[in-house]
């Protein structure tokens, strides 16, 4: 069975500092990986996704993630964060390639940016 | 285009009462999903509609939850009777037929309904 582990429930970071949000997954088959973000009082928004190809994936708002099959990880990074990045971030996995596949989410990481 | 819309945004009800959540997907999206996040835990899949048919309801917690999608448009999720452990945020998402999008992954989530059972 698939599962996703986000190792940090909260990450406080100073503005303009780099950040890495960690995600590990388990699955017996090939997976497709995602990072979603939920800003305060908004819905879930797709940040980026890995389906195949290059293991370094670039998303919106300057975020990127690297798929590491041997370590079963998909960590999210940003070189310099802004106050506006304050949100909750969810790592997710799907075994299906199509839009008809359900997603398994991690428990989320709250990113708080200090000025 | 309008996004996925959920009503109400917040609901506070007493234990034992009934609550109905509504989701309006993006027009033309055949796939509609319900997810739930309870008490800061992970977001969990509840069920998946393809048009008006339930494709997968393996995540529905028990028979107090009833989901419908009459006519293949909007969907409702009814909780009857509500229990304290039902409190959480209920998300709806929709997506097109992957054949229409070349298989490209495209979920769109709503803002969620925050349900509090007291």
Q: What is the pLDDT of residues A48-72, one digit of tens each?
A: 988 888 889 999 999 999 999 899 9
Residue A32 β-bridge partners: A94
Instruction: Write out A35-55 in H/E/C secondary structure.
Output: EEEECCCCCEEEEEEECCCCC
Contact B65, B79 (CB under 8 A): yes
Q: What is the pLDDT of residue B108?
A: 86
Helix (H) or strand (E) holding B79: strand B75-79
Residue A11 has pLDDT above 70, yes or no: yes
Q: What is the pLDDT of residue B99?
A: 58
Higher pLDDT, B40 or A106: A106
All residue ranges of chain B with pLDDT < 70 are 1, 97-106
Q: Which of A90, A99, A107 sits opposite B107 (nearest CB)?
A: A99
Residue A40 has pLDDT above 90, yes or no: no
Parallel/antiparallel/unpaired status of strands A10-14 and A109-114: parallel
Q: What is the pLDDT of residue B9?
A: 94
Q: List the structure tokens of A102.
A: 């359900």
Q: B4 and A49 in contact by Cβ < 8 A? A: no
Distance of CA A12 to the CA centre of its chain: 16
Q: List the structure tokens of A30.
A: 């090939």
Show the domains of chain B with their CATH numbers: 5-97+109-117 (2.60.40.10)
Q: Which residues of B touch A34 (CB under 8 A)?
A: 105
Q: B41 and A107 in contact by Cβ < 8 A? A: yes
For B88, counting Cβ atoms within 10 Å of its Cβ (0-12 exposed, 13-18 middle, 19+ buried), the class is buried
Q: Which residues of A touch B112 (CB under 8 A)?
A: 43-44
Share of chain A above pLDDT 70, in %: 95
Show the domains of chain A with their CATH numbers: 3-114 (2.60.40.10)
Q: What is the pLDDT of residues A72-90, one digit of tens each?
A: 999 999 999 999 999 999 9
Q: Which of B44, B98, B110 sits opposite A100 (nearest CB)?
A: B98
Q: Which residues of B touch A107 (CB under 8 A)?
A: 40-42
Q: Which of A94, A99, A105 sits opposite B43 (nearest CB)?
A: A105
- Sequence-distant (6+) residues with CB within 8 A of A52 are none
Residue A100 has pLDDT above 80, yes or no: no
A14 vs B: CB within 8 A? no
């Amino acid at each position: 069975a698939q599962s996703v582990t986000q190792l940090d429930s909260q990450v406080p970071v100073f503005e303009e500092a780099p950040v890495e949000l960690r995600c590990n997954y388990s699955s017996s088959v090939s997976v497709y990986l995602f990072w979603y973000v939920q800003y305060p009082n908004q819905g879930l928004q797709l940040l980026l996704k890995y389906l195949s190809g290059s293991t370094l994936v670039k998303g919106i708002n300057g975020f990127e993630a690297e798929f590491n099959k041997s370590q079963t990880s998909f960590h999210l990074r940003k070189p310099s964060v802004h106050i506006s990045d304050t949100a909750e971030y969810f790592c997710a996995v799907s075994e299906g390639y199509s839009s008809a596949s359900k997603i398994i989410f991690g428990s989320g990481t709250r990113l708080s940016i200090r000025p | 285009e309008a996004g996925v819309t959920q009503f109400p945004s917040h609901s506070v009800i007493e234990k034992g009462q009934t609550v109905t959540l509504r989701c309006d997907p993006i027009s033309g999206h055949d796939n509609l999903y319900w997810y739930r996040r309870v008490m800061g835990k992970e977001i969990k899949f509840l069920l998946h509609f393809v048009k008006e048919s339930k494709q997968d309801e393996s995540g529905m917690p028990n028979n107090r939850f009833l989901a419908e999608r009459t006519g293949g448009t909007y969907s409702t999720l009814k909780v009857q009777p509500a229990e304290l452990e039902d409190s959480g945020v209920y998300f709806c998402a929709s997506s097109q037929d992957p054949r229409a999008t070349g298989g490209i992954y495209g979920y769109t989530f709503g803002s969620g309904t925050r349900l509090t059972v007291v």
